[in-house]
Structure 1
Amino acid sequence: MKKALFLIFSLLILSCSSDDRPDNNQFLPPTSINYQINLNLPQFNPLKFPGNHFVDNTANGSIKGIIIYNIDNTQYSAFELSDPNHTPSSCSTQEIKGITATCNCKDGNAYNIITGQQTSGDGQFALRRYSIRRDGNTLSITN
């Protein structure tokens, strides 16, 4: 009986997966993001309302910046601003219109800034997602 319980327990432990999935994107170098946004500051006012986004180009550890989208005041999405299917260059910084991020590299790459999925163009990678959490009036963004 002890052997059977040990075997079942071992299988359960080994079958658990981790949220620390490696980012296998050969186009984007590794980043280290760990910063906070105070929603009380006037420059972040758009993030107080669902359906709005903010592009943060500060020295926050990202490659080209971060796209932050307010889904419903409790859920937010945060993605790398650099097109994941191009090596960072002058044309790989994306422009945002509505919920679509579009690459300027003339290949038609476009992505949904809520889900991160590619909506047009060629490529094998979705947007690089960053973890985002709201605590009161503070957004914490990490990877």
Structure 2
Amino acid sequence: MKHFWTIGLLALILSCSSDTTNRNPYLQEVGFRLELNLNLPLYNDLNNIGNPIYVPNNGVGTRGAFVIKSSLNTFYAFEASCPNHAPNDCSTMTIDGQNVVCSCEGYTYSLFTGQQLDRPDDGNRYYDLLFYSATQSGNTVTISN
């Protein structure tokens, strides 16, 4: 019986994660689910690879989301608020081709990878775009967190 409790306690300790970090300290984890009907003109650009859209809906992330079709059956969705500072008046990014740009510092991020393309080499930590789930079922793309 003593070994049972020892094994149980050891399993409990090993299963606990000490990683209490947020994916990004500047952006809150906002839970949401939104369906995008690809038959609607508003989302028609998502029928073609490489044409991103901005989804400004209230309740979708912090400042909305950017969605892009990256291959025949793959979509990516990212938070629209710049990941390298707290949300403010200039932090909602804008689409520039297949990238997004933060007007606060001019940082550029790829919508195909989420990576910051112009990361300064100054020893500070920089964050890539905050990723959201994007799945397709028929003519509907569901983005969620």
Could you state the TM-score of these two structures normalised by the residue count of structure 1?
A: 0.79
Which residue of the other structure, out of 112, 115, 118, is the alignment partner of 1:117?
Answer: 115
* Identical counterparts, % of pairs: 34
1:125 offset after TM fit, Å? 0.8
How much does 1:121 deviate? 4.2
Partner of 1:81: 80
Cα deviations by residue, 1:99-134 (Å, 9 ceiling, x for unpaired): 1111011x2311111110011144521100001000
User: Cα distance 1:111–1:142, how it changes in 2: closer, same or farther (>3 A)?
Assistant: same
Report if aligned partners of 1:35, 1:60 keep a CA contact under 8 Å in 2. no
Structure 1: 5+ residue stretches without partners:
1-10, 16-20
Per-residue CA deviations over 1:31-85 (Å, capped at 9, x if unaligned) read: 1121211111111110111111110001243111100011123011100000010
What RMSD in Å do the two structures reach over aligned CA positions? Answer: 2.1
Q: Structure 2 CA distance, aligned partners of 1:75 and 1:83? A: 23
Provide the residue aligned with 1:90 in structure 2: 89
- Separation in 1, partners of 2:91, 2:85: 6
Q: How many residues align?
A: 126
Matched with 1:61 is: 60
For 1:24 and 1:55, locate their aligned partners in 2 and report how far apart those are by CA, in whole Å. 22
Output the CA distance in 2 between the equivalents of 1:51 and 1:85. 24
Aligned residue identity for 1:40? N
Asked if the contact 1:25/1:125 (under 8 Å) is kept, the reply is yes
Query: TM-score under structure 2 normalisation?
Result: 0.78
Instruction: Please give the per-residue CA displacement for 1:5-43, whole angstroms capped at 9, x wherever unaligned.
Output: xxxxxx9xx79xxxxx96331111221121211111111
Q: Could you say which residue in structure 1 is the equivalent of 2:38?
A: 39
